[in-house]
């Protein structure tokens, strides 16, 4: 039997009909893992923490939930090509789903600021890739203009179907946990995903499937924290390149999600992001990309400030797979990769096996 993707699974809550062709790679249904070692490791033993592993989607990020919708609707509407600006993951996802649909895919990336794995994906799936002399916000402005006549479908999260697909992650969290968590911690870049999760939680509450909805705690990188400081960052900077965005497209909806849920959008520094990235790998065996770890960095910050109760049930969304960014671990771990002779005694000594 074909693995059910987001559209088949949540058809009745999505703007699709029997006429919508379903372009799927089997996205969604990602694991929600009980992260029981991390709380004690940071001095919060009563914390009830879960991680939603969105890096296990078909192209390695949460974007696939929205892309199955955007590309299916694009095919239904008769388009022949899709276009996006991207810090990497959207481009990988768009390229894969466009190929699956037989559409052309055009991608604008901020030159030199996209993790190697993501660039490799877009190339392998056969997209036409342009590295732009400008950041993500400039690339998105270009895409808005290139797609303005409607001949090419824009599949950034300004495409209304993207967030509809992505709200399915909120549904899944409620189903997997058997209830809504007290808090959802999530990275914020272009601010689409926090908005989408809130839609999902709100809808399940309105339908009576959940009795409550979580407080939404979103985290921008400090060098790109437009929403936190209520001003555009013309030159956003952070090593978390996926969220290196200075003028988020879903700014207003994200602010509303945080306010309506009783949550908060805050910022985390690159040092806090890197510490959380390493902590997840070393305490939980979870390898996410640096930007994803902004959710855990933010959780730690809010546990320490008391903004999140120490005995709360919390879900951290880990948006992308660690393998997307193979350079970062090598920079951090600085391994000695010189070959060692195949001599058991020497190896025993070197590995300090007694
Ligand atoms: N985490 C990862 C791994 C991302 O790739 C992104 C966004 C985010 C978090 C933030 O999500 O934009 O909905 O607030 N990446 C986009 C891209 C911008 O082009 O791949 P958001």
* Number of neighbours of residue 281 by Cβ within 10 angstroms: 17
How many domains would you assign to the chain? Answer: 2
Q: Judge whether 316 lies within some domain.
A: yes
Question: Counting beta carbons within 10 angstroms of the beta carbon of residue 352, is it exposed (0 to 12), middle (13 to 18) or buried (19 or more)?
Answer: exposed
| Whole-number pLDDT of residue 144 | 97
Do 73 and 48 fall within a single domain?
Answer: no
Percentage, residues of the chain above pLDDT 70: 99
* Cβ atoms of residues 105 and 259 within 8 Å: no
Select the more confidently predicted residue: 3 or 12: 12
Residues near 40 by Cβ (< 8 Å), separated by ≥ 6? none
Do 234 and 249 fall within a single domain?
Answer: yes
Is pLDDT of 2 > 70? no
Do 46 and 178 fall within a single domain?
Answer: yes
| Residues paired with 10 in a beta bridge | none
- Closest approach atom of ligand 1 to CA 93: 20
Q: What are phi and psi of 22, to 5 degrees?
A: -95, 110
Do 45 and 190 fall within a single domain?
Answer: yes
Three-state DSSP at 316 gives strand
Q: Write the residue with the smallest CA distance to atom 19 of ligand 1.
A: 86
Do 49 and 105 fall within a single domain?
Answer: no
pLDDT digits (tens, 9 = 90+) for 80-99: 999 999 999 999 999 999 99
pLDDT digits (tens, 9 = 90+) for 173-214: 999 999 999 999 999 999 999 999 999 999 999 999 999 999
Do 171 and 54 fall within a single domain?
Answer: yes
Do 112 and 250 fall within a single domain?
Answer: no
Q: Judge whether 110 lies within some domain.
A: yes
- Produce one character per residue of 102-131: b if its CB has 16 or more CB atoms within 10 Å, e if not: ebebbbbbbeebbbebbbebbeebebebee
Most informative mutation of 90, 132, 185, 190 for ligand 1 (most atoms within 8 A of CB): 190
- What CATH number has the domain bearing residue 70? 3.40.50.1100
Segments forming the whole domain that contains residue 149: 63-158
Q: Judge whether 297 lies within some domain.
A: yes
Do 36 and 139 fall within a single domain?
Answer: no
The whole-model pTM stands at: 0.97
Q: Judge whether 86 lies within some domain.
A: yes
pLDDT digits (tens, 9 = 90+) for 292-335: 999 999 999 999 999 999 999 999 999 999 999 999 999 999 99
Separation CA 336–CA 100 (nearest Å): 41
Distance 62 CA to ligand 1 centre (A): 8
- The pair of structure tokens assigned to 52 is 């939603």
């Amino acid at each position: 039997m074909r693995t059910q993707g987001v559209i088949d699974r949540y058809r009745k809550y999505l703007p699709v009909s029997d006429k919508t062709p379903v372009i799927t790679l089997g996205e969604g249904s990602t694991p929600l893992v009980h992260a029981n070692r991390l709380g004690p490791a940071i001095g919060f033993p009563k914390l009830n923490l879960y991680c939603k592993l969105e890096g296990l989607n078909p192209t390695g990020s949460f974007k696939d939930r929205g892309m199955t919708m955007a590309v299916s609707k694009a095919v239904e509407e008769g388009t022949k090509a899709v276009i996006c600006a991207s810090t990497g993951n959207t481009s990988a996802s768009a390229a894969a789903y466009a190929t699956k649909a037989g559409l052309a895919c055009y991608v604008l990336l901020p030159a030199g600021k996209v993790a190697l794995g993501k660039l490799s994906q877009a190339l392998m799936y056969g997209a036409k890739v342009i590295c732009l002399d400008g950041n993500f916000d400039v690339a998105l402005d270009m895409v808005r203009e290139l797609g303005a006549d409607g001949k090419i479908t824009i599949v950034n999260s300004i495409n209304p179907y993207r967030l509809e697909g992505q709200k399915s992650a909120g549904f899944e969290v409620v189903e997997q946990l058997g209830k809504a968590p007290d808090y959802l911690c999530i990275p914020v870049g272009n601010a689409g995903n926090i908005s989408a999760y809130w839609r999902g939680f709100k809808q399940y509450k309105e339908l009576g499937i959940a009795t409550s909805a979580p407080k939404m705690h979103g985290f921008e990188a400090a060098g790109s924290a437009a929403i936190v400081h209520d001003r555009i960052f013309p030159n956003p900077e952070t090593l978390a390149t996926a969220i290196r965005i200075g003028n988020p497209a879903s700014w207003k909806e994200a602010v509303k999600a945080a306010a309506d849920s009783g949550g908060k959008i805050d910022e985390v520094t690159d040092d806090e992001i890197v510490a959380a990235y390493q902590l997840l790998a070393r305490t939980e065996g979870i390898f996410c990309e640096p930007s994803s770890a902004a959710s855990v960095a933010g959780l730690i910050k809010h546990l320490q400030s008391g903004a999140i109760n120490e005995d709360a049930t919390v879900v951290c969304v880990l948006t992308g797979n660690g393998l997307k960014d193979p350079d970062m671990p090598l920079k951090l771990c600085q391994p000695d990769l010189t070959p060692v002779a195949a001599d058991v005694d020497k190896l025993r000594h070197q590995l300090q096996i007694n």
